[in-house]
Amino acid sequence: MNIRLRLASRMPASAAWRHTDVLHTQIVQEIGRIETEADARSLAWVGDGLYDVAADWRRFPLDGSAPKARYSAYGPGFDAAVMSPAGDLVALLHTAGTKGLLLNADKRLVREVNRSFYHAEAYRYPLVQFSLPDGRTGLIHCPARYNQLEIEEAASGDPLVARGERTPKDVFHSRLAVSASGRYLLSAGWVWQPWSCLMVYDQHAALEDPARLDSPGDVFNVRGAHTGRDQRGLLRR
């Protein structure tokens, strides 16, 4: 794989696009470029360092010199990394598997996470990290059932929504993303047979009423076209 790093700076956006709860664009100006020949599976920024987390925490120096590895590999199945906004935790995931590892910025294991095996090979591991109002890192994933979203304090795993009887809709959650404000959660998943769908949840409301996470999107939802298959054989969901 030929990795091209584009060093860029952000230019101020129009004041009309600065609200944290709406979609916005930013102008990016390229200030430099580095090219290196290397295989990479799970690139993530840790501070100002670029790492392939799954491959021995291999670091790609920004001066174009050879990559350097420091730690033992976690296994051949891990192929994706999700960094927290605060930069304190990185989730190393098996995209089409059931296992994930939470690692701290010192590259040490914090805890393991899991998801249901049910059709796990067909869609991407649903996990996202975000910043809580008090500055801690939060985690949203589906540790119990493929269709049940949980909100936790990332490092400890302590639940942030009340545990109790849940009746989630039959939805496969995937490609989770949180808005810049931390209020809204997007799930770009799918439903049988199989149809792609977008679901948006109000996290602030869900912390008080977890049943809102069991709906097919309490803010809005859209069901799209029949899903196809990408070159890896994974359904595009």
Cα gap 72→56, rounded to integer Å: 5
pLDDT value at residue 67: 83
CA angle in degrees (0–180, nearest 5) for 82-98-76: 75
| Residues 32-75 pLDDT 10s | 666 666 677 788 888 888 889 988 888 888 877 888 877 666 77
pLDDT value at residue 11: 52
Query: Residue 119 — very low, low, confident or very high, per pLDDT cuts 50/70/90?
Result: very high
Q: Where are the domains of the chain?
A: 115-237
| Residues 170-227 pLDDT 10s | 999 999 999 999 999 999 999 987 789 999 999 999 998 999 999 988 887 887 655 4
Q: Is the pLDDT of residue 168 over 80?
A: yes
pLDDT value at residue 130: 96
With b for 16 or more beta-carbon neighbours within 10 A and e for fewer, the 66-101 pattern comes to ebeeeeeebeeebbbbbbbeeebbbbbbbbbbbbbb
| Residues 145-158 pLDDT 10s | 999 999 999 999 99
CA distances from 223 to 69, 199, 209, 237 (A): 43, 9, 24, 12
pLDDT value at residue 14: 43
> pTM for this one?
0.80
Q: Are 57 and 50 in contact (CB under 8 A)?
A: no
